[in-house]
């Protein structure tokens, strides 16, 4: 695991890279360069994190050799439901992984651990609940939603009729608008979840509205799943019909997805993942998911998440103290959006300049953004990755100072050139 100065306490990464370099100098060099970048940079991309060495090792283990289309269980016969022989070990692994994830979220929901990503989990979740052409009410990408929540360039916007609810003038989800649009558009599915929203999402209020209009209620908790697991954000379990997530963000696992559903949707969820959306599951990733689920059940992980949230507040407060605008004026979770609408340069310009300074962020649209998404008027800042590397509140205040210095330099340069 990397510490805050970029020292690696395990020999795993270096030995692994050395071995790859011996076999493929070209690819090995790409990996080594990226490892160095990740070690030396301050990583503030809110969706990224550093997983444990055990998770990393499982991603590269012999399970990558195994095909196992199907499921470890067949509801009718009670036997294995795989289409290949030799699955006795991965069957046990996958069942164990499902049980562990139920433990993480303290739920009796059905769980499918096969989705390769969050987008594929969402593809399967929609398939399980609604038909093509049905209406989804969701948060738009511009306001902090996700590409797979109905963006016109994504499968979700092409296969479904998507209506978006708004945020209010302060950037908070406008629950009155959710109710109004739910009543007038009568969606088949209401979706809560975001990739750039810094406030608590009121799942109870969403569930109530869904019930009022007879819609299914789905939550994509990808960003805040770790906070939910640790009790730092209200849980959607018991309220939502289906809950999807990725495993690599605040959950600190391998790249991948999960789908949870009320028991009555178990069969529909499973057949929407395989054979509808995917073929063979990635059993090496399922092993890594199981290890991260074990890690996420520990007290150490709970403390880590509490520190992520404390760090986010301290980081955000420092920007507010320095006079910056933050969407919604603060944060309740692991991220926030710095609003650069009043600056002469875009989020993209700042992202590029911060890259040169060894600080990694991503440009992000802010509500009502006048710039195109490729430029954007904000940057998204998250604390999950650097908290894994041991950063505390003072470290994040210092990073805010570094970013402030860069912004001031850029502003002066733009003024000089006018």
Taking the C-alpha atoms of residue 195 and residue 175, their distance in angstroms, rounded to an integer, is 18
Q: Which pair of structure tokens corresponds to residue 30?
A: 């790409």
Given 43, 91, 220, 395, the catalytic residue: 220
Shortest separation between residue 118's beta carbon and ligand DSN, angstroms = 5
125 vs 222, beta carbon nearer ligand DSN: 222
- Each residue 193-222 as x (binds ligand DSN by CB under 6 A) or -, in order, gives --x--------------------------x
Q: Sign of torsion, CA 267 273 279 283?
A: negative
List the one residue out of 222, 366, 392 whose CA is nearest residue 309. Answer: 392
47 vs 346, beta carbon nearer ligand DSN: 47
Helix (H, G, I), strand (E, B) or coil at 192: strand
Whether 299 is catalytic: no
Whether 172 is catalytic: no
Applying CB under 6 A, does 118 fall inside the site for ligand DSN?
A: yes
Applying CB under 6 A, does 254 fall inside the site for ligand DSN?
A: no
Given 246, 247, 328, 387, the catalytic residue: 246
Whether 394 is catalytic: no
82 vs 249, beta carbon nearer ligand DSN: 249
Applying CB under 6 A, does 144 fall inside the site for ligand DSN?
A: no
Given 67, 73, 83, 96, the catalytic residue: 67
Whether 397 is catalytic: no
How far CA 31 is from CA of 7, 99, 139, 263, 282, in Å, comes to 17, 34, 36, 42, 22
Shortest separation between residue 287's beta carbon and ligand DSN, angstroms = 22
81 vs 118, beta carbon nearer ligand DSN: 118
180 vs 255, beta carbon nearer ligand DSN: 255
List the one residue out of 336, 322, 323, 328 whose CA is nearest residue 397. Answer: 322
Shortest separation between residue 147's beta carbon and ligand DSN, angstroms = 7
Helix (H, G, I), strand (E, B) or coil at 246: strand
Q: Which pair of structure tokens corresponds to residue 164?
A: 């978006």
Whether 75 is catalytic: no
Q: Which pair of structure tokens corresponds to residue 384?
A: 């999950």
Shortest separation between residue 323's beta carbon and ligand DSN, angstroms = 27
Whether 69 is catalytic: yes
Applying CB under 6 A, does 143 fall inside the site for ligand DSN?
A: no
Pick from 82, 100, 127, 146 the residue near ligand DSN by CB under 6 A.
146
Report which secondary-structure segment, H or E, holds 268. Answer: helix 266-271
Given 255, 268, 325, 353, the catalytic residue: 255
375 vs 392, beta carbon nearer ligand DSN: 375
Q: Sign of torsion, CA 396 397 398 403?
A: positive
Taking the C-alpha atoms of residue 124 and residue 131, their distance in angstroms, rounded to an integer, is 11
| Sites for ligand DSN among residues 358-417 (CB under 6 A) | none
List the one residue out of 52, 40, 43 whose CA is nearest residue 13. Answer: 52
Shortest separation between residue 222's beta carbon and ligand DSN, angstroms = 6
Given 181, 249, 289, 389, the catalytic residue: 249
Sheet holding 189-192, edge to edge: 110-112, 257-261, 242-246, 216-220, 189-192, 135-139, 161-165
Shortest separation between residue 233's beta carbon and ligand DSN, angstroms = 16
Shortest separation between residue 351's beta carbon and ligand DSN, angstroms = 13
Q: Residues touching ligand DSN: how many (CB under 6 A)?
A: 5
List the one residue out of 53, 45, 32 whose CA is nearest residue 288. Answer: 53
Applying CB under 6 A, does 47 fall inside the site for ligand DSN?
A: yes
Applying CB under 6 A, does 149 fall inside the site for ligand DSN?
A: no
SS3 labels along 322-369: CCCEEHHHCCCCCEEEEECCCCCCCHHHHHHHHHHCCEECEEECCCCC
58 vs 196, beta carbon nearer ligand DSN: 196
Give residue 144's region: left, alpha or beta (phi > 0; psi -120 to 50).
left
Catalytic residues: 67, 69, 220, 246, 249, 255
Contact residues for ligand DSN, defined by CB under 6 A: 47, 118, 146, 195, 222
């Amino acid at each position: 695991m990397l510490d805050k100065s970029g020292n690696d306490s395990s020999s795993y990464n270096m030995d692994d890279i050395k071995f790859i370099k011996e076999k493929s100098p070209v690819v090995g060099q790409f990996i080594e360069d990226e490892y160095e970048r990740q070690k030396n940079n301050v990583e503030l991309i809110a969706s990224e994190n550093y997983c444990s060495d055990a998770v990393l090792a499982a991603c590269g283990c012999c399970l990558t050799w195994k095909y196992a289309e199907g499921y470890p269980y067949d509801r009718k016969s009670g036997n294995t439901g795989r289409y290949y022989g030799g699955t006795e070990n991965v069957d046990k692994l996958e069942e164990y992984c499902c049980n562990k994830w139920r433990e993480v979220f303290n739920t009796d929901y059905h769980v499918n651990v096969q989705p390769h990503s969050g987008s594929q989990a969402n593809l399967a979740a929609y398939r399980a609940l609604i038909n093509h052409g049905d209406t989804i009410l969701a948060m738009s990408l511009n306001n902090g939603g996700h590409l797979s929540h109905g963006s016109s360039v994504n499968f979700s916007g092409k296969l479904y009729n998507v209506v978006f609810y708004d945020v209010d003038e302060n950037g908070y989800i406008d629950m009155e608008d959710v109710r109004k649009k739910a009543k007038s558009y009568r969606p088949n599915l209401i979706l809560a979840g975001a990739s750039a929203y810094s406030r608590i999402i009121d799942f109870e209020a969403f569930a109530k509205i869904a019930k009022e209009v007879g819609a299914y209620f789905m939550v994509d908790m990808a960003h805040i799943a770790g906070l939910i697991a640790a009790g730092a954000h209200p849980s959607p379990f018991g309220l939502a019909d289906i809950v999807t997530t990725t495993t690599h963000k605040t959950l600190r696992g391998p790249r991948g997805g999960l789908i949870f559903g009320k028991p009555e949707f178990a069969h529909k969820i499973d057949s929407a993942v395989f054979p509808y959306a995917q073929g063979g599951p990635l059993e090496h990733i399922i092993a890594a998911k199981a290890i991260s689920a074990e890690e996420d059940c520990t007290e150490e992980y709970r403390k880590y998440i509490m520190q992520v949230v404390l760090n986010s507040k301290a980081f955000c407060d420092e920007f507010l103290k320095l006079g910056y605008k933050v969407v919604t004026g603060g944060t309740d979770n692991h991220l926030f959006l710095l609003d650069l609408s009043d600056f002469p340069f875009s989020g993209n310009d700042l992202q590029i300049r911060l890259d040169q300074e060894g600080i990694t962020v991503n440009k992000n649209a802010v509500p009502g953004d006048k710039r195109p998404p490729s430029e954007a008027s904000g940057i998204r800042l998250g604390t999950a990755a650097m908290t894994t590397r041991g950063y505390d509140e003072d470290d994040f205040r210092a990073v805010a100072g570094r970013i402030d210095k860069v912004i001031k330099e850029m502003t002066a340069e733009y003024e000089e050139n006018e």
